[in-house]
Amino acid sequence: MAWFFAKRLVSFTVTLALATIVIFTMLEIVPGDPARLMLGINATQDAVDALRQQMGLDIPPLARYFAWVSGMLTGDFGRSYTYSVPVAELIGDRLWVSLPLAMISLALSTLVALPVGIAAASRRGSAADTGIMASTQLGVAIPNFWFAILLVYVFAVTLRWVPAGGFPGWDKGLMPGLTALILPSIALALPQAAILSRVTRSALVEALGEDYIRTARAKGLGRRAVLWRHALRNALIPVVTIMGLQFAFLLAGTIIIENVFYLPGLGRLVFQAITQNDLPVVQNVVMLLVATVIIINFLVDIAYALIDPRLRKREA
Amino acid sequence: MSLEAGSVPDHVETWADFRSRAMRSRSLLVGTILVAIILCGALASFIWTPFDVTQLIIADRLKPPSSTHWFGTDHFGRDIFSMIMVGARNSIAVAFVAVGIGMAIGVPLGTWAAARRGIVDDILMRFNDVVFAFPAVVSAVMITAIFGPGQFNAIIAIGIFNIPVFARVARGAALSLWSREFIMAAQVSGKNAARITFEHIIPNIANLLMVQGTIQFSLGILAEAGLSYLGLGTQPPWPSWGRMLNEAQTMVAFAPHMAVFPGLAIVITVLGLNLMGDGLRDLLDPRLRRER
C-alpha cells in the first residue's frame, strides 16, 4: 500500500508541476506588453518601464515562474492589475458565489440522476428504460447556456418567480442569495444529471450481470434486496468517480453560466480577467481550477485503492 | 475487418448482413437523419439561402415566424432561418477540423506510445493527464482570448483538447492488440513497429476511432457554440449559432423565437451525432453484438 501511495504521490506532484509550466508558458506567449496595454498607446516609455517594474515584468521569465510557484505555496497569489487588490482576496470573494453554485448543481444532478439511473437499470429493456435513456440523450445535447436562456424566459420574464440575473450578496440574507442561484444551478445541473444517469445505469447494469448477484439470487434473496444491498454498492464506485470529476468541471462550467446570469463568481472573474489581460488573475484562477481536477483525481485513485485491494496489488 | 487470431467466428458476415444490421439500428438511423438534415442545410447555404444573412433590414426587425420568414427575424431584420443555415456550416467546419487535428496528432502519438512503451509511453501519458486536467471551457476561452477571437483560433482551441482524447483511445486499443498472435506473427516475419502500426494496428482500431470521432464532433459543436456565445468564436458579419443565442438573450422578452431556433439547431446536431456514435459503436463492436 505504501508503494502504491508513493507512486501515486509522485505522479500527482509531477502532473501538478507540469500544469504550472503549461499555464505559465501559455500566458508568457500572450502577444503585447501588459503594462503598455494598461497605460494605453499614448503613455511614455518611462511610465511603461516604471509600471513593468512595479508589476515585476522586468524580472527574467524563469525567476518569475519560481516566484509565482513559491508564492502560491505560501498563499501569495500576487496582485490583480485591474482591481489592484491581492488575487487571493478576489478569489476568496468570488468563491462564495461559484462554490455554492457548483455545490447546489452537483446536489441537484445527483438527486435527479441516481433515482433515474437506478430506475432505468432495474427495468432494463422496458419502455421506461428506453424513455429515460432517450431523455438523457437529449439532456446531454442541450447546451447549458441555451437552457439557461429558456429558464430565464419562462421563470423570470413570464412567471416572474425569480430574478433574471445578478446576485444580491449573502449579506442580504440566505433566501435572496439562494433564489438568485436557483436558475443557474438548474441550467448547470442538466447536462451533468444526464451524464450521471447514464453512468449510474450502465454501472448498475454491469453489476447486476455479475456472478455474485446470481449467487445472491440463487440463495433466495429478492430482486429488490439484491439491487440495493449488493449491486448498488458495487456500482457506486464509478458513479462517485464521475461525481468527483463533475464537481471540478461544474466549477469551471460557471464561466459561461455566470456570464448568462451576470453572477459575480469565479467564472465571470476569469473571463473578465482574460479579456482585460489581467494575467495574475487568469494564471491563478486557472491554476486553482486545474489543481482541483488533479487533486480530485488523486483522491479518487487513493480511495479506489482503499476500497478495492485488487487494484493496489495490480498497480504495485 | 481483419480476423482475430485464435477466435473462430460463427459465420463470416457479408456486406448484406452488415447493411441489414445497420438499417435495424434505430439510433444510427435517427442520428443519421438528424445529421443529414443539418448537413444538407449547411451545404445548401453555399448556393442558396432564403435571404442574404449580411443584409440588415431594420423595418423587418423582430418579426415572429411567418410564411415569409420561417423562423422569424432578429433585431437587425435578418432572416433567422438563413442565419441558421450559414451558422451550420461554420459550426460543422470548426468541429470537423478540430476533430481532424485531434486525430492527426493524437492517433500517431497514442500508437507510438503503445509501440514503444517504457519512458516514451510514460512521458506522453503524463502530458495527457495534464491536458485532461484543464477544464476545456476555461482553456478554450484562454486560448482564443490570448490569440484573438475568431474561427481559426476556435478550431485550434478545440482541436488541442481532442489530441489527448484520441491519443488515449488509440493507445489503449493499440496496447491490447500488441499482445495478440497476429501482431506477434507480423513481428516474427520481420516487420518493424512502424509498419505493423500502419498495416495492422491502425486498420484494426479505425472503428473505435470513428466512434470517438463522432463523439468529439458533437462536443466540438457544443464548444464552438459556447465560444461564440462568449464572443470568441466566429466573428460578424458571419452568423454563428452561439452568437445568435448571445444576441437573443437580451431580446428574449420580446422575441423568444430568436433564442429558440438556434438552440434547437445545436440540440438537433449534437443529438444526431451522439445517436450516430451510439449506433456505430453497437454496429462495429463485435463484443457488444454478442452481448445483445
Q: Is residue A172 scored above 50 in pLDDT?
A: yes
Q: Is residue B37 scored above 90 in pLDDT?
A: yes
Q: Is residue B13 scored above 80 in pLDDT?
A: no
B250 to chain A, any CB pair closer than 8 A? The answer is no
Which chain B residue is nearest to residue A136, measuring alpha carbons?
B271
C-alpha span between A176 and A156 (Å, rounded): 14
Q: By C-alpha distance, which of A81, A25, A75 is closest to A273?
A: A81
Q: Is residue B87 scored above 50 in pLDDT?
A: yes
Q: Chain B closest CA to A9's CA: distance in Å?
A: 13
pLDDT of A45: 84
With CB atoms and an 8 Å threshold, state whether B267 touches A22. Answer: no
pLDDT digits (tens, 9 = 90+) for A101-119: 999 999 999 999 999 999 9
Instruction: Count Cα neighbours of B136 within 13 Å in the Cβ-side half-sphere.
Output: 23
Mean pLDDT for the stretch of residues A20-40: 80
**At B7, is the pLDDT very low, low, confident or very high (cuts 50, 70, 90)?**
very low
Which chain B residue is nearest to residue A246, measuring alpha carbons?
B135
Mean pLDDT for the stretch of residues B242-246: 94
**At B4, is the pLDDT very low, low, confident or very high (cuts 50, 70, 90)?**
very low
Residue with the three cell numbers 456500482 = A235
Cell, residue A292: 482541483
- Summarize chain B as % helix, strand, coil (round to 5): 75, 0, 25
* Residues of chain A with C-beta less than 8 angstroms from the C-beta of B131: 22
The share of chain A scoring above pLDDT 70, in percent, equals 97
Q: Chain B closest CA to A50's CA: distance in Å?
A: 24
C-alpha span between B288 and B240 (Å, rounded): 38
With CB atoms and an 8 Å threshold, state whether B271 touches A137. Answer: yes
Q: Chain B closest CA to A60's CA: distance in Å?
A: 21
Question: Quick one: CA dihedral B207, B209, B210, B214, positive or negative?
Answer: positive
The share of chain B scoring above pLDDT 90, in percent, equals 40
pLDDT of A312: 61
**At B12, is the pLDDT very low, low, confident or very high (cuts 50, 70, 90)?**
low
pLDDT of A223: 79
pLDDT of A311: 61
The share of chain B scoring above pLDDT 70, in percent, equals 91
Respond yes or no on whether the N-terminal peptide bond of residue B108 is cis (omega within 30° of 0). no
With CB atoms and an 8 Å threshold, state whether A29 touches B222. Answer: no
Which chain B residue is nearest to residue A288, measuring alpha carbons?
B134
List all residues of chain A from 181 to 220 with a beta carbon under 8 Å from chain B: none
Nearest by CB to residue B135, choosing from A138, A252, A274, is A252
Cα Rg of chain B, angstroms: 22
pLDDT digits (tens, 9 = 90+) for A246-303: 887 787 778 889 999 999 999 899 888 888 878 889 889 889 888 988 888 888 878 8
C-alpha span between B239 and A16 (Å, rounded): 39
* Residues of chain B with C-beta less than 8 angstroms from the C-beta of A22: 130-131, 134
Cell, residue B61: 426587425
Q: Is residue B291 scored above 70 in pLDDT?
A: no
Q: Chain B closest CA to A87's CA: distance in Å?
A: 18
ipTM above 0.95, yes or no: no
With CB atoms and an 8 Å threshold, state whether B142 touches A286. Answer: yes
C-alpha span between B242 and A299 (Å, rounded): 36
